[in-house]
């Protein structure tokens, strides 16, 4: 059984993108390993204890991935609320809605994550 603990620590706001990227890379790596290790049984050996064990292990790993992705969402969502609240309306000009600012911010976060992903650093 997975036992989880809640940690609380602080980092500089400027390091938040890197920290989220690190956590997301961990989740992605674990997902890839889990997919690679997943047993692909033939129809003749499906009804075995090994299949049950493999399914159990895969579900445990998927549970860990789900919890990590939930943690990442729990970090990003309040940050987005903070960032939107920090954006002065009059600097943006007339007619800029909260949704437009949110989309722009989402694009910035996506670009930052893409720039710091393991795949982008491997190809450089």
Query: What is the pLDDT at residue 41?
Result: 63
- Which of the two residues, 50 and 60, has the higher pLDDT score? 60
- Which of the two residues, 40 and 118, has the higher pLDDT score? 40
Kindly tell me if the per-residue pLDDT of 124 is higher than 50. Answer: no
Q: Which of 65, 1, 58 is nearest to 30 (CA)?
A: 65
Please enumerate in sequence order all residues whose Cβ is within 8 A of that of 18, keeping only pairs 6 or more positions apart, or say none.
116
Residue % of the chain over a pLDDT of 90: 40
User: Which of these ranges, 47-56, 67-76, 82-91, 101-110, has the smallest mean pLDDT?
Assistant: 82-91
Q: Which of 78, 80, 86, 73 is nearest to 20 (CA)?
A: 73
Query: What is the pLDDT at residue 84?
Result: 85
> If you write DSSP's letter for every residue of 6-69 in order, what string do you get?
-------GGGHHHHHHHHHHHHHHHHHHHHHHS----GGGSSSHHHHHHHHHHHHHHHHHHHHH
Angle between helices 98-115 and 49-86 (to 10 degrees): 130
Q: How confident is the model at residue 100 (pLDDT cuts 50, 70, 90)?
A: confident
Kindly tell me if the per-residue pLDDT of 115 is higher than 60. Answer: yes
Taking a C-beta distance cutoff of 8 angstroms, is the pair 34, 58 a contact?
A: yes
Kindly tell me if the per-residue pLDDT of 94 is higher than 60. Answer: no
Neighbours of 20 (CB within 10 A): 20
Query: What is the pLDDT at residue 22?
Result: 95
pLDDT digits (tens, 9 = 90+) for 38-52: 867 666 778 888 888
Query: What is the pLDDT at residue 88?
Result: 57
């Amino acid at each position: 059984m997975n036992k989880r603990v809640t940690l609380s620590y602080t980092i500089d706001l400027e390091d938040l993108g890197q920290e989220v990227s690190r956590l997301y890379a961990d989740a992605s790596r674990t997902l890839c390993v889990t997919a690679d290790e997943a047993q692909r049984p033939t129809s003749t050996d499906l009804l075995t204890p090994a299949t049950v064990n493999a399914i159990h292990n895969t579900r445990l790993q998927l549970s860990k991935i789900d919890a990590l992705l939930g943690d990442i969402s729990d970090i990003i969502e309040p940050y987005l609320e903070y960032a939107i609240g920090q954006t002065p309306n009059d600097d943006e000009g007339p007619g800029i809605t909260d949704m437009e600012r949110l989309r722009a911010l989402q694009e910035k976060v996506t670009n930052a994550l893409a720039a710091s992903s393991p795949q982008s650093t491997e190809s450089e």
